[in-house]
Amino acid sequence: MTMRSVLLALGFVAIVVWPFLVDNTFYTHIGVSVWMFTILALSMNLMLRMGQLSLAHGAIMGLGAYTAALLMLRLDVPFLPAFICSGLVGALVAAITGPVMLRVKGVYFVLLTFAFGEIIVLMFIDWVSLFGGHNGIFGVPRAELFGFVLRDRSYSYLFALGLAALAYLILRWIYSTETGAVIDALHDDEDLARSLGVNALGYRIGIFIVSGFMAGIAGGFYASYFTFVTPESFTFWTAVDALVMNILGGIALPLGAVIGAVMLVPLPELLRDSQEYQILFYGLILIFFLKFLPDGVVGVIKSLSTDSSRSLGKRFMKILAWRQVK
Amino acid sequence: MSGLLEAKGLVKRFGGLSAVDDVSFSTGEREILGVIGPNGAGKSTLFNLITGTIPITAGTVHFDGKDITGLKPEQVANLGIVRTFQAATVFTEKTVQENIRIGYQFNQLGRPTSLFNRRRVKEFRRKAESLVTEVLDFVQLTSYRDRAAGELSYGRQKVLGVAMALAAGPRQLLMDEPAAGLNAVETERMGQLIKLIRDVKGIDVVLVEHDMAMVTSVCDRILVIDRGRLIAEGSPEEIQQNPDVIEAYLGVDLELD
């Protein structure tokens, strides 16, 4: 056993048990939010890795949330099938819209997904009889797994952590297989990839479907955890949050999405008393990262672990050079 | 003997401009066919039409007797027509061997649905290792196996680009300016590699090129294109003596090295 694996094991145990030791519902709630948004950030990571920034992911998460809420409330579907359906709806939306939206790239795709997401949110607001308008849907039953209702927040925490861990492992697995090579190739040089025989659109759709499923699952969890669903939670700002998490953490590894969620999600909760500074703080952090750490926290870890002195030195020189130019 | 690729009456118009104007040609079996012409003559456009990168205005392309007009680039590649690019196009962050493996993978598992075919994926993984070794050896990049492609010299990156195309298992290779950006020694080596591809691998080659010395030393037959039109066709010797070609492309005071 190396020092590293001991530390990793200890860290893992700490992440699992702290809510039971601290026993503070507010902190536990932040923990639940962190892992829930980790799922969304990971689903966004899939899109970013193949070079397609989607602003519809907040809305897709919303579709998942409303799906779970409506199935459980209106049709008395038990939690687990409703929860899985929330993912399936996310996947279905991706499968239907993907063949159209994924034909365009860059800023056009961003705008298209933005418009699509806003249409979904408007649908939540204006189709009052089904989605309940601005008031949304209240009284969604809590998650119930094999007859055990997750009433206690600590158990919701474990559930969210388990889902996030699963999503993380799935992403790690995808990136390590042949699909990962295609995803990188689509990002780096699509013409080259296609000239060698890759069905680029097909792969993009496939990845969008997996990503949509994960966003839908995040929504399904949301519905049962908060027990209410409102349209404001799923605007394009939610997608922007997921994007910023990836930028802060670093897009290169799925771990970046996790780190980004851990950094970003607690902010609004912890800064609740000074809301006027919250956006400012958020903006400053973002500027700092984009300017000095464009590869996010993961980029820093990477440069520390591989020939540290050279790349760190280089980075430092870069910062100095930038100062001098100023 | 006739080859695999046959283009008939190819036309590509961009607005009022005819980039390619009624070009017909066919390849010969085990032939290296050169396409030359001044800048902007429509040589690269011709490749883009054959591989489906841009839509054809008129005309047809047949490959191995099959009409491939209007197919997408990946479909054309899956049928066995693989192209290389003018610039060194490799995945710079991957290692040399990963790049070659990618070339093989993208041909074998080009459709996302093929990933669900476990037998096919297993077969790919089983064969990939030996294929990579073989291709590396063939293009003489074995000693760079684990280097990041981006660290290679420009010339070696271009060779790697050819290696990736070979790994994709082509029956017809289309090479867009294989010597562009290479020095004299690298150009010479590239010429030898192209001949080896034909002689050893038995792959037909069409290449678009500016470097006259290379074209005349490597190609069996040459097409000359000027302003989108095919103005001459023949052996390297015939082309060098054709007055139309000399005027259109080579300049009257021709100096061949």
Establish how many alpha carbons lie within 13 A of residue A30's alpha carbon, considering only the half-sphere containing its beta carbon: 18
- Those residues with Cβ within 8 angstroms of residue A72's Cβ, 6 or more apart along the chain or in another chain: A78, A79, A82, A140, A141, A223, A224
**Would you say B212 and B250 are in contact if contact means Cβ atoms under 8 Å apart?**
yes
Burial tier of B119 (Cβ tally within 10 Å: 0-12, 13-18, 19+): exposed
What average pLDDT score do residues B22-34 get?
91
Pairing between strand B17-28 and A148-149? unpaired
CB-nearest partner of A202 from B90, B112, B168: B112
**Where residue B249 falls among pLDDT bands split at 50, 70, 90?**
low
CA distance B249 to chain A (A): 30
**Cβ within 8 Å, pair A194-B92:** no
**Cβ within 8 Å, pair A197-B78:** yes
Q: Is the pLDDT of residue A132 over 60?
A: yes
Position A306 scores a pLDDT of: 64
Beta bridge partners of B173: B82, B205
Enumerate chain A positions whose Cβ falls within 8 A of a Cβ in B: 177-179, 181-182, 184-185, 188-189, 191-200, 202-203, 205-206
Question: What are the tens digits of pLDDT across the range B148-202?
Answer: 999 999 999 999 999 999 999 999 999 999 998 899 999 999 999 999 999 999 9
**Where residue A309 falls among pLDDT bands split at 50, 70, 90?**
very low
What average pLDDT score do residues A246-261 get?
91
Position A324 scores a pLDDT of: 43
CB-nearest partner of A198 from B83, B92, B110: B110
**Cβ within 8 Å, pair B85-A191:** yes
Task: Residue B107: list chain A partners with CB under 8 A.
Answer: 196-197
CB-nearest partner of A196 from B72, B92, B164: B164
What average pLDDT score do residues A273-280 get?
75
Position B18 scores a pLDDT of: 85
CA distance A313 to chain B (A): 21
Instruction: Report the distance separating Cα B139 and Cα B128, nearest Å.
Output: 16
**Where residue B115 falls among pLDDT bands split at 50, 70, 90?**
confident
**Would you say B29 and B204 are in contact if contact means Cβ atoms under 8 Å apart?**
yes
**Cβ within 8 Å, pair B82-A203:** no
What residue spans of chain A are helical by DSSP H?
Answer: 3-22, 25-49, 57-74, 79-101, 106-126, 128-131, 153-176, 178-188, 190-195, 200-226, 236-249, 254-264, 266-270, 275-292, 296-305, 308-325
**Cβ within 8 Å, pair B73-A191:** yes
- Three-state helix/strand/coil letters over A238-256: HHHHHHHHHHHHCCCCHHH
Q: What percent of chain A has pLDDT over 70?
A: 93
Instruction: Report the distance separating Cα A223 and Cα A217, nearest Å.
Output: 10
**Where residue A201 falls among pLDDT bands split at 50, 70, 90?**
very high
Position B251 scores a pLDDT of: 58
**Where residue B214 falls among pLDDT bands split at 50, 70, 90?**
confident
Beta bridge partners of B11: B21, B58
Higher model confidence: residue A107 or residue B248?
A: A107
Q: Is the pLDDT of residue B257 over 60?
A: no
pTM: 0.88
Q: Is the pLDDT of residue B73 over 70?
A: yes
**Cβ within 8 Å, pair A199-B98:** no
Position A312 scores a pLDDT of: 47
Beta bridge partners of B60: B8
CB-nearest partner of A178 from B89, B91, B109: B109
Task: Residue A200: list chain B partners with CB under 8 A.
Answer: 74
Higher model confidence: residue B144 or residue A279?
A: B144
Position A282 scores a pLDDT of: 78
Chain B: residue whose CA lies nearest to A202: B112
CB-nearest partner of A195 from B82, B93, B109: B82
Higher model confidence: residue B3 or residue B108?
A: B108
**Cβ within 8 Å, pair B109-A193:** no
Please, what is the average pLDDT of chain A?
88
Task: Residue B53: list chain A partners with CB under 8 A.
Answer: 191
Q: Which amino acid appears at position A161 of this protein?
A: L
Q: Is the pLDDT of residue A244 over 60?
A: yes
**Would you say B239 and B224 are in contact if contact means Cβ atoms under 8 Å apart?**
yes
Pairing between strand B66-67 and B58-63? antiparallel
Pairing between strand A144-145 and A148-149? antiparallel
Q: What percent of chain B has pLDDT over 90?
A: 58
Enumerate chain B positions whose Cβ falls within 8 A of a Cβ in A: 51, 53, 72-74, 77-78, 82-83, 85, 89-94, 98, 101-103, 105-107, 109-113, 115, 121, 124, 164-165, 168
Tokens of B246: 């000399």
- For each of the domains in chain A, give its residue range(s) and CATH number, in order of start: 26-325 (1.10.3470)
Tokens of A86: 């929330």
Position B86 scores a pLDDT of: 87
Position B250 scores a pLDDT of: 58
End-to-end CA distance of chain A: 49
Q: Is the pLDDT of residue B136 over 80?
A: yes
Please, what is the average pLDDT of chain B?
89
**Cβ within 8 Å, pair A194-B77:** yes
What average pLDDT score do residues A222-243 get?
93
Question: What are the tens digits of pLDDT across the range A70-106?
Answer: 999 999 999 999 999 999 999 999 999 999 999 998 8
What average pLDDT score do residues B4-33 get?
90
Q: What percent of chain B has pLDDT over 70?
A: 96
**Cβ within 8 Å, pair B73-A206:** no
CA distance B6 to chain A (A): 19
Chain B: residue whose CA lies nearest to A181: B102
CA distance B81 to chain A (A): 9
**Would you say A291 and A326 are in contact if contact means Cβ atoms under 8 Å apart?**
no
Task: Residue A181: list chain B partners with CB under 8 A.
Answer: 94, 98, 101-102, 105
| Nearest 10 degrees: Cα torsion B218, B219, B222, B224 | -30
Position A279 scores a pLDDT of: 76
Instruction: Report the distance separating Cα B89 and Cα B250, nearest Å.
Output: 29
**Cβ within 8 Å, pair B74-A191:** no
Question: What are the tens digits of pLDDT across the range A9-36?
Answer: 999 899 988 888 888 889 999 999 999 9
Residues of B222-241 as b/e, b for ≥16 C-beta within 10 angstroms? bbbbbbbbbbbbeebeebbe
